Amino acid sequence: MSYNDKDYISLTDMANGKQSESRAADIIKNWIRTRYTIEFLGTWEMIHNPYFKVVEFDHFRMQAGLPSFVMSVSEWIEKTNAIGIIVKKGRYGGTYAFKDIAFEFGTAISVTFKLYLIDEFQRLKEEEQKQLGWTAKRELSKINYRIHTDAIKR
């Protein structure tokens, strides 16, 4: 889904895809109330959102992890002015998050997803290194060619 020219991924669909007896809304609500998630979301918002309310974030951070702490996604958005997660009501409604946050959610609810994400990252880094290696070899060949042609000219 796109919102304000940004792509968002449905956390509701991700949670529904997990084979579980729990409702998607409950999975998301349990995830968002953890201390680690609050830290992650707050840090993400501080980097990407100039209008993020840091004082409210500190309040949530201090409460996170306590047995009495309960927070909804809507409450997070409303009180902190968050932009990384949005809630849509009605038809096609659900909880949507920016891709960075959706990846974090996926790794929190599925070990398999986390391992595939790590494997894919490593594969892409290896591919990048191969490309850089090829480019470096090409540049060295170009320099050596010039050195050889200059030597022959003399």
Residue type at 30?
A: N
Q: Does residue 92 share a domain with residue 130?
A: no
Q: Does residue 52 share a domain with residue 118?
A: no
Q: Does residue 97 share a domain with residue 66?
A: yes
Q: Does residue 94 share a domain with residue 31?
A: yes
Domain boundary among 109, 124, 141: 109
pLDDT at 96 over 70: yes
User: Residue range 92-106: average pLDDT?
Assistant: 93
Residue type at 86?
A: I
Q: Does residue 101 share a domain with residue 119?
A: no
On whether the CB atoms of residues 53 and 79 are closer than 8 A, the answer is yes
Predicted TM-score (pTM) of the model is: 0.77
- What's the rounded Cα separation, in Å, for the pair 111 and 108? 7
For residue 65, report the phi and psi dihedrals to the nearest 5 degrees: 95, -20
Instruction: Quote the Cα angle for 16-75-67, to 5°.
Output: 80
Task: Give the pLDDT score at 134.
Answer: 67
Q: What is the total count of domains within the chain?
A: 2
Q: Does residue 77 share a domain with residue 41?
A: yes
Q: Does residue 149 share a domain with residue 94?
A: no
State which residues form the domain around 86. 1-109
Q: Does residue 105 share a domain with residue 79?
A: yes
In this structure, what token pair is assigned to residue 97? 């998050």
